[in-house]
Amino acid sequence: MSQNNVIIRFSDVSFAYDEKKVILDEANFSVRKNSIVTIMGQNGAGKSTIFKLLLGQLQPKRGKVILEHAATVGIAEQTIPADQLDLDIVSYFKLALPDKEYGIEADIHRIFGEVGLEISLDKKVRDLSGGQKARLLLASALITSPDILLLDEPTNNLDQAGIDALTAFLVMYEKTCIVISHDSDFLNCFTDGVLTLDSNTKKVEQYVGNYYDVLDDIAAKKEKDRLLNARLEKSIKDRFKKVNKLGGKSIAMSRLAKKVRQDIADDRELLVGKRPEDRTIPDFTIKNQNYIGTILKTKKPVEMELVKGSRLLIKGPNGIGKSTLLKAMLSGSAAEINSELRVGYYSQEFSELDFEQTAYDSLHSVSQTGLAPEIFEAGSRFLLNSDILKNKIGSLSEGQKGLLCYARFVLQQPGVLILDEPTNHINFRHIPVIAKAINAYEGPVILVSHLPDFVSQIENIKVLDLLAPHTRYKLEHSTL
């Protein structure tokens, strides 16, 4: 790689939040100018940490993060911070352009044209749909014209039209971009290379090529490493048997045994560290609150009763009001939910979680038994070990927050599930397991999702199609 064409360089970068939470160990990689690179890794492996190091929000413990040519960095975060939700659009963009006194409205309209966003500038950020917020995050990153654009799960909350528009934008993008995403089809459209983070070795490996080709390369390397380990382990085992026969019979034999032991030690150093793939959560069950009687009746936009086993998908383009309708159902203005029922709610921005609580306390607050072993077991099932459960929710990765919500459902045993984009932030490997659990859940489910692969796995689903705001609605059986 030409040194003059490099814009990002990580040189022996090590970083740890504390002695127990090492994220990177002597990471070395570089990114070419005007390339688009994907970061892969398990939840908590350090993808967001790399972004924070590039932004200067964190400093490496050792090594250097070098941005060549005085490059500037902008980021489209996964979510909008809670303290910015009550800002109007102009005030929101002034955070990115604090020194801009005149003409900011023109800049906003220009950048809205690039990301395909049409909203009034006096609108509050809080009042935007999930898809509109996703485009707003991208616009706020682009308005400063950064040399390096960081995108953190940019397809979350976007409908297919939004994903197609974002894909087209990135295909034509002429600057450097680094993307974190679990959407493989999306990534394969534009990726020039992949950085993989191994949470076991704390190393970063770099691959060149489109996303699917890189996945094949990674799989081939893992198989090669597995075969090498198998040969070495067999050789080590055979030589151990030889040592047992040699040892103690004579001085010469003892010396030979010592040499064999040293050879064994040397070969152990050659064993390739096992690289665990993203672990998939095991099958789990969400028990239904045992209740006889009326569960839920919708009042708007249509009147219908949901009974055990009901599955209702609320469908429509970004901005039509799907999340607003779910919140209205929760508040009682659009639905009657029996007051004795526990409601399991998954929101786009995890508004049902208290970010100041520890993950353990969050699980304890919904547990029907309050027994510590059950709480730790539920956390472990969703890859949240005892160390992670001690942390405040605000410090967890977005993927870990999503898995925490499902651990809460297991302990809560809700009478109804209301799910707003329940695959947001979730690793694609977990999605079939989650769909299976929803199918097995005996209570009614109301959901909003823009992920066809997920929706197609949900059985006996009906669709409430919000065809146009405040006009007419259509209730139909799914043909997905």
Alpha-carbon 431 to chain mean position: 12
Contacts of 74 (CB under 8 A, 6+ apart): 141, 142, 144, 146, 148, 149, 150
Q: What is the pLDDT of residue 276?
A: 47
Cα-based distances in Å from 164 to 67, 160, 187, 332: 31, 6, 12, 35
**Radius of gyration of the CA atoms of the chain, in A:** 26
Other C-beta atoms lying within 10 Å of the C-beta of residue 313: 20
**One-character DSSP codes across 308-337:** TT-EEEEE--TTSSHHHHHHHHHHTSSEEE
CA–CA gap between residue 8 and residue 6 (Å, rounded) = 6
- Which tens digits make up the pLDDT trace of 102-128? 889 999 999 999 998 999 999 999 999
Closest CA to 343 of 323, 360, 329: 329
Residue 444 and residue 296 in contact, taking contact as beta carbons nearer than 8 Å:
yes
CA–CA gap between residue 8 and residue 64 (Å, rounded) = 11
Residue 50 and residue 38 in contact, taking contact as beta carbons nearer than 8 Å:
no
Number of alpha carbons in the 13 Å side-chain half-sphere of residue 167: 15
Q: What is the pLDDT of residue 264?
A: 61
CA–CA gap between residue 103 and residue 83 (Å, rounded) = 25
Q: What is the pLDDT of residue 31?
A: 95
Strand ranges (E), 93-184? 148-152, 176-180
CA–CA gap between residue 267 and residue 258 (Å, rounded) = 14
Q: Which residues of the chain fall below pLDDT 50?
A: 1-2, 275-277, 468-473, 477-480
Q: What is the pLDDT of residue 179?
A: 95
Q: What is the pTM of this model?
A: 0.73
CA–CA gap between residue 442 and residue 462 (Å, rounded) = 16
Q: What is the pLDDT of residue 260?
A: 62
CA–CA gap between residue 146 and residue 166 (Å, rounded) = 17
Q: What is the pLDDT of residue 408?
A: 98
DSSP-assigned beta bridge partners for residue 52: none
Other C-beta atoms lying within 10 Å of the C-beta of residue 288: 21
